[in-house]
Structure 1
Amino acid sequence: MIKKKIEQVNRLIKDVLAFEKIKKNTPEDTSKAVVVHINNHTLYHRFFYLLLKFYKLAGYNVYYPMDFAKFRNIRNKERYLSLLVREENFLIVNTKYQPENYIEITDEMFSPDYFSSYFENENRTDDVFHIPMSFHPFMYHYGIWNYEVDLNKKRCNSIFCYGNFDAQAYLDIKRTEFSVIPRTELLSYFKNQQNFISLSGKLELFEKIKEGSMERKYAFAIKEHFALPMEDVRETLSYFNFYLCCPGVVMPLCHNVIEAMSVGTIPLIQKEYAEVMYPNLVNKVNAIIFDDIGNLDSILNEVFDISETEILKMRKNVLQYFQDNLTPDSVVEHINESIKNKKLIYLQAEHRSVKFIR
């Protein structure tokens, strides 16, 4: 009991000191400003951090007036949300600083009911805007999201996939309304293919690329066997023509597809997944889309025979999609336009968004 009390006092002291420090943040020399009046920050967790981080990366001063209670709530909650107040020189919380001209964002502008367009409104999006999926939050936090990558290197005409394939965690999606194939089942399917390969690390990957034995392969970098540092993700993806998009834990969307598209690696993606990305991905324009496992068989019989001309055309479209829709600048531009036009803005809330599906 005494130990717990001491820990609580120590945390309180650390929080007080951190709050006094953040109150000293001052605006940077820019006329671009966003003022945040949102109380539902815990509803959106990581995606709220990403929303404000995108404004910061787009060159805005981010004003988020808050008292000590809200500061503590943010600082000691979910780890990605806490980055809002743990990052250096991010937020301006002191109310004595107020810009003359600014974009204002409020709770009423946003909804976590992200998938209602798909399930209830025939995927019509004329009057709404879906803030798209993004890289993993740490990529922005550590400033590695825009590392320069050589996009003109010769690529392997193979399908690459990386990530966690934990059987327990990634079967949760089967208990939702989505009909996407869970990543564990996709892995099982590809394991039965003749050209499947499970990579043991970057050294093996680059040796196989050098010797020319990585062509027409289904190459998986499974987290348990292949440690891929976050700073190397985009560079590794850029060695391949195609990326197999596996769904997340409880929804199709996962940050891996965005990381692949950022380097022009063409998504091989299931139809439902492609249709909850906004704007929707289009088959043979900026993605290769399959309906189900049966359809995947026929796709795989053809994908490696797509001409180099068509590959280059699709790669260009993928990169253009990323620039137009997925960079911090483009996302902020679309959000501001939506605010101006009084459109409802859907912001991901992961598990909470899925619970809205009726």
Structure 2
Amino acid sequence: MFQKTIESITGKVKKRFKYYAHTKRKLRRKPEGQFAEVNFGAFLLNRDMGRYSFILCQMLKFSGFKVVVKLDPRFFLNEVPYKQMLLAQDYTKVRGSNAPNRSVLLHGPGEKRKQLNFICSYKLIDEQIDAYYLPYTLHPRFYRTFSDNTNFDACRKASRATRIIFSGNFERSLYNNKVLKDNFGWTISRVDILDHVKSAYKDDPRILYAPTQKHFYDLLRQAESRNKFIIAEVKTDPEDWLKILSSGDFYLCLPGMGMPWSHNAFEAMAVGTIPIIQYNHLFNPALVHEENCLAYHDFDSFNTALELALNMKPEEVERMKANVIAYYDAYISTKQIIKRIQRFYASDEETLTIALPYLNEEI
């Protein structure tokens, strides 16, 4: 017991030293040109939320700002991979900031200064406010460089190996949990969808299951998989992910662990793969059934969506694919987010509220 206490104290001291080693007490000298003074506060920086702070900082960097980000000691208590991504960037890390909590100050030549304010709440879904609703994103690994999340041409033009695809984690304890049902009672979890498919489509030759990664990759190479629905209850190697997504005409976009949004839907759309999705109404603007998605709201409409996808004529698939790419480029892409930030910076507006309806902290 005594030994564990000593180890715990030692660990905390080491992390405190790490905090001081990585950060400056304050910004002593302003960077030349445009810079963003970032103070996301503890909520957006810590634990799994670190993925969003990294992406937001990179968006500012891609928009032409040098990034100065305020960290706090808690940032180092649990260093998930997304925090390592943030630390690896050439940001200036400080312990103090002039930016208010949950905001970014955009500085320019002379005394030019603009402010971005961030609001995180599920209430923003129903209680629409006058704000820029930031779209959900690809996985953080696609934001290490600008080209990582803007160069999708090869995947969009790739020949498709199968009709519908899903690959991902189906672990019941993670993806059939109480949090999802409590916050979004209408959502059908990915585990429930898998159970339904195995029951309703038992022995259906159009449904292929891949229990291992090798089996999954083999199925994608087989000509007889062309008009099938492949379900892989496995994760793929990250470097293969976009290629995997672009192997299907459609991707079954199942919800995340605690909320409907999942990176997989946005990554699928980036490469021109049509989403089969329950939460199409949570997009801004909403995705439209049979225009840029196949939408379902219960098990019966899910069955209908699957049949539509499996029996759709090639020309209809191409029409929907073109619509998906057009939607992504117009509303989700990094280039559009950059344009919005830069337009605000060049405008006469002094503040811009950015709404994140997929993150929840009471206002």
Deviation at 1:142, TM superposition (A): 7.6
Equivalent residue of 2:276, what SS? strand
1:186 corresponds, among 181, 193, 213, to: 193
Do structure 1's residue 298 and structure 2's residue 304 form an aligned pair? yes
Do structure 1's residue 7 and structure 2's residue 11 form an aligned pair? yes
Deviation at 1:296, TM superposition (A): 2.0
Do structure 1's residue 19 and structure 2's residue 26 form an aligned pair? no
1:251 partner letter: M
2:332 corresponds, among 310, 316, 326, to: 326
> Would you say the 8 A contact 1:34–1:104 is kept in 2?
no
Percent sequence identity over aligned pairs: 22
1:169 partner letter: L
Q: Distance in 2 between matches of 1:181 and 1:314?
A: 24
Q: Which residue of 2 aligns with 1:74?
A: 75
2:41 partner letter: N
> Would you say the 8 A contact 2:34–2:109 is kept in 1?
no
Deviation at 1:132, TM superposition (A): 1.3
2:37 partner letter: V
**Residue 128 to residue 88, structure 1, CA distance change in 2 (3 Å):** closer
Equivalent residue of 1:213, what SS? helix
Q: Distance in 1 between matches of 2:135 and 2:211?
A: 32
Q: Which residue of 1 aligns with 2:210?
A: 199
> Would you say the 8 A contact 1:290–1:299 is kept in 2?
yes
2:159 corresponds, among 148, 154, 159, to: 154
Equivalent residue of 2:80, what SS? coil
> Would you say the 8 A contact 1:263–1:319 is kept in 2?
yes
Deviation at 1:212, TM superposition (A): 1.0
Do structure 1's residue 168 and structure 2's residue 173 form an aligned pair? yes
| RMSD value, Cα | 3.5
Equivalent residue of 2:231, what SS? strand
Q: Deviations over 1:308-331 (max 9, x none)?
A: 222122112211222222222312
Equivalent residue of 2:23, what SS? helix
**Residue 77 to residue 25, structure 1, CA distance change in 2 (3 Å):** farther
2:91 partner letter: F
Equivalent residue of 1:304, what SS? helix
Q: Which residue of 1 aligns with 2:137?
A: 134
Q: Which residue of 2 aligns with 1:241?
A: 249
Q: Which residue of 1 aligns with 2:103?
A: none
Equivalent residue of 1:160, what SS? strand
1:7 partner letter: G
Do structure 1's residue 347 and structure 2's residue 356 form an aligned pair? yes
Do structure 1's residue 259 and structure 2's residue 267 form an aligned pair? yes
5+ long unaligned stretches in structure 1: none
> Would you say the 8 A contact 2:261–2:358 is kept in 1?
no
> Would you say the 8 A contact 1:34–1:103 is kept in 2?
no
Q: Distance in 1 between matches of 2:280 and 2:113?
A: 31
Q: Distance in 2 between matches of 1:275 and 1:57?
A: 29
Superposed, 1:25-40 pairs within 5 Å as 27=31, 31-39=33-41
> Would you say the 8 A contact 1:260–1:266 is kept in 2?
yes
Q: Distance in 1 between matches of 2:335 and 2:300?
A: 39
Q: Distance in 2 between matches of 1:25 and 1:308?
A: 59
> Would you say the 8 A contact 2:44–2:52 is kept in 1?
no
Q: Distance in 2 between matches of 1:105 and 1:338?
A: 10
Q: Deviations over 1:119-149 (max 9, x none)?
A: xx4xx56x23221111122332488445653
Q: Distance in 2 between matches of 1:264 and 1:187?
A: 24
> Would you say the 8 A contact 2:274–2:321 is kept in 1?
yes
Deviation at 1:259, TM superposition (A): 0.9
Q: Distance in 1 between matches of 2:82 and 2:115?
A: 17
Q: Distance in 1 between matches of 2:74 and 2:29?
A: 19
Q: Which moved more, 1:258-267 or 1:316-325?
A: 316-325
1:179 partner letter: W
Equivalent residue of 1:264, what SS? coil
Q: Deviations over 1:280-330 (max 9, x none)?
A: 111122111123111222232332232222212211221122222222231
> Would you say the 8 A contact 2:54–2:86 is kept in 1?
no
Q: Distance in 2 between matches of 1:22 and 1:213?
A: 62
Q: Distance in 1 between matches of 2:230 and 2:237?
A: 17
Equivalent residue of 1:151, what SS? helix
Structure-1-length-normalised TM-score = 0.79
Q: Deviations over 1:9-68 (max 9, x none)?
A: 4333333322259979995x8x5533334435547543233212212233322233x4xx
**Residue 116 to residue 7, structure 1, CA distance change in 2 (3 Å):** closer
**Residue 22 to residue 80, structure 1, CA distance change in 2 (3 Å):** farther
